[in-house]
Amino acid sequence: MTTKIVINGSNGRMGRALVHACVESSQATLVAALVRVGSEFEGADAGSVAGIAPASVAMISDNNQLPEDVQVWIDFTLPAGLMNALQYCVKKNIPMVIGTTGLDDEQKQAIHDAGKTIPIVFAPNMSVGVNLCLSILQTAAKTLGEDYDIEIVEAHHKNKVDAPSGTALRMGEVIADALDVDLDEKAEYSRHGNIGVRKPGTIGFQTIRAGDIVGEHTVTFAGIGERVEIVHRATSRLTFARGAVRAATWLVGKDNGIYDMQDVLGLSKK
């Protein structure tokens, strides 16, 4: 049995990659592809829009047209669109895989509240490689401790609207948790002018927005006489999409609650 999946925002850059990953997977079946009301893609074949062979799934804008047997909803849309989808999925008891970033505290709380009713995989990055890096970062931070200066540098395409990236922030959270400190107190997001010497124990974030960079993250632990760098570079959105489809197939039958990719990949140390 394959997992029956609906993809929200299926005409966007990430949405097309999700369609591609879903169609190519032997463990998933694309049963619906949603677009905004009035979209020029409404009625078009989802596979054709994604640049692959026709998938025999027409893009729709009305949730009432969704088949009754949808098993998982995948959503990488903007925060406002996600909130609407969240309400619908809670009402219809549809599990969700959420990769939307740029959420505020209230929106994140809405997701956690929804987790009391449906199972949700919520992660800023679905890449298997990135999530392996998160596990490595936890070990590195515990081993190296606060004697090493920590910098997180991320680069994305010029159209990305939130900064730092959700992945960079998650990396910072993992490091802060490993060091048993509060990221809100330790994070440094910008430097300009005469900033003085570096404050001990801070975690620096640097952002690059340029061209068509899919996603790059470098975490540096710099000590006296040596430095350790952990780097992840994505060259295709398919790496995120394949991870999301993997999460969707894993989610079927799980208890209500909030999960992340560490759970999906069996890397969780909870």
Quick: pLDDT tens for 153-166: 999 999 998 999 99
Percent of the chain residues topping a pLDDT of 70 = 99
Per-residue pLDDT tens digits for 112-144 = 999 999 999 999 889 999 999 999 999 999 999
Q: Which CATH number belongs to the domain containing residue 154 in this structure?
A: 3.30.360.10
Burial class (CB in 10 A: 0-12, 13-18, 19+), 244: buried
Confidence of residue 9 (pLDDT cuts 50, 70, 90): very high
Q: Which among 92, 83, 70 has a CA at the least distance from the CA of 113?
A: 83
Residue 270 belongs to a domain: no
Q: Give the pLDDT of residue 270.
A: 59
Residues 102 and 18 in one domain: yes
Higher-pLDDT residue of 190, 242: 242
Rounded Cα–Cα distance for residues 100 and 215 (Å): 15
Rounded Cα–Cα distance for residues 210 and 79 (Å): 23
Residues 30 and 113 in one domain: yes
Q: Which among 259, 145, 124 has a CA at the least distance from the CA of 201?
A: 145
Q: Give the pLDDT of residue 32.
A: 97
Per-residue pLDDT tens digits for 246-265 = 999 999 999 999 999 999 99
Residues 175 and 44 in one domain: no
Q: Could you give phi then psi for residue 82, rounded to 5 degrees?
A: -65, -40
Just list the catalytic residues: 156, 160
Residues 20 and 100 in one domain: yes
Burial class (CB in 10 A: 0-12, 13-18, 19+), 26: exposed
Q: Which CATH number belongs to the domain containing residue 255 in this structure?
A: 3.40.50.720
Q: Give the pLDDT of residue 268.
A: 77
- Please give the single-letter amino acid code of residue 103: L
Q: Count structural domains, the chain.
A: 2
| pLDDT for residue 225 is more than 80 | yes
Residue 75 belongs to a domain: yes
Q: Give the pLDDT of residue 245.
A: 97
Domain that holds residue 148: 128-234
Beta bridge partners of 30: 5
- Please give the single-letter amino acid code of residue 127: S
Q: Give the pLDDT of residue 72.
A: 98
| pLDDT for residue 205 is more than 80 | yes
Average pLDDT estimate for 177-181: 97
Residues 73 and 137 in one domain: no
Look at residue 168 and give its three-state secondary structure: helix
Whole-structure pTM value: 0.83
Rounded Cα–Cα distance for residues 54 and 47 (Å): 4
Residues 32 and 65 in one domain: yes
